[in-house]
A and B are shown apart, each in its own frame.
Chain A
Amino acid sequence: AQSVTQLDSQVPVFEEAPVELRCNYSSSVSVYLFWYVQYPNQGLQLLLKYLSGSTLVESINGFEAEFNKSQTSFHLRKPSVHISDTAEYFCAVSEADKLIFGTGTRLQVFP
């Protein structure tokens, strides 16, 4: 069975600094990978996804993630964070007919 590891439960960072949220998955076979964002007391929103093609995928708000098959990783990066990026971020991997989620990383951006 697939599993997803998000090593950092919390990541504090100052505004305008770069950030990386790490995600590793267990399988080396073809997978679909996703990053979701959750604001307090809300559902999850899709941030970006990798299905095939270019290993670097981007979101509309400046986040990007790179699929690395050899390292089974899909780390999320942003070169300069804003206060509004404060949220919980979940990495997910597809398995057959369902999604498997990591335990989440809480990104806290300080002014």
Chain B
Amino acid sequence: DGGITQSPKYLFRKEGQNVTLSCEQNLNHDAMYWYRQDPGQGLRLIYYSQIVNDFQKGDIAEGYSVSREKKESFPLTVTSAQKNPTAFYLCASSPYGPGEAFFGQGTRLTVV
């Protein structure tokens, strides 16, 4: 089945630790995105990538890092510099530009 896989579904980390969230797609899409979701704030764009080995900052990139070494993969690292990392993280992909996006099931990160 084609789709986007995010893992793990739930993640717990201690404050001060870096953590990497996985996102893999087999849809052959060029563009991939990371969004953060908090109650009442909708989805806010963290990073996005239109092509392998290239990515751009979104609206809330501080404290996060990404890589795009393969077309299928777009991992997100939440660093210790992120002041409030507890949130629901959603990965998405789209075939090109501003077309519709396909979402993974999300990773709920809790930092204690």
Query: For the complex, is A90 an interface residue (Cβ under 8 Å from B)?
Result: yes
Tell me if B101 is interfacial: C-beta within 8 Å of chain A. yes
B residues 17-47 touching A (CB-CB < 8 Å) = 31, 33, 35, 40-45
Number of inter-chain CB pairs below 8 Å? 61
B103–A97 touching, CB < 8 Å:
no
The interface residues of chain A lying within 8 Å CB-to-CB of B102 are 46
Please name all residues of chain A whose beta carbon is closer than 8 Å to the beta carbon of B31 when the two chains form the complex. Answer: 97
Are A90 and B106 in contact (CB-based, < 8 A)?
A: no
Q: Chain B's interface: helix, strand, loop or mixed, by majority?
A: strand
Q: When each residue 79-111 of chain A gets 1 if its CB lies under 8 Å from chain B and 0 otherwise, what string results?
A: 000000000001000111111111110000000
A44 interface contact, C-beta 8 A: yes
For chain B, residues 90 to 111, give those with C-beta under 8 angstroms from any C-beta of chain A: 90, 92, 97-106, 108
Interface size of A as a range: 20 to 34
- Total residues of chain B contacting the partner, CB 8 A: 27
Residues of A contacting B: mostly = strand
A9: Cβ under 8 A from any B Cβ: yes
Residues of A near any B CB (own CB < 8 A): 6, 9, 32, 34, 36, 41-46, 49, 90, 94-104
| 29 residue pairs A–B, Cβ–Cβ below 8 Å | A9-B40, A34-B100, A41-B106, A42-B105, A42-B106, A43-B4, A43-B90, A43-B92, A43-B103, A44-B43, A44-B90, A44-B103, A46-B100, A46-B101, A46-B102, A90-B42, A94-B97, A94-B98, A96-B97, A97-B31, A97-B48, A98-B58, A99-B101, A101-B35, A101-B42, A101-B44, A102-B42, A103-B40, A103-B41
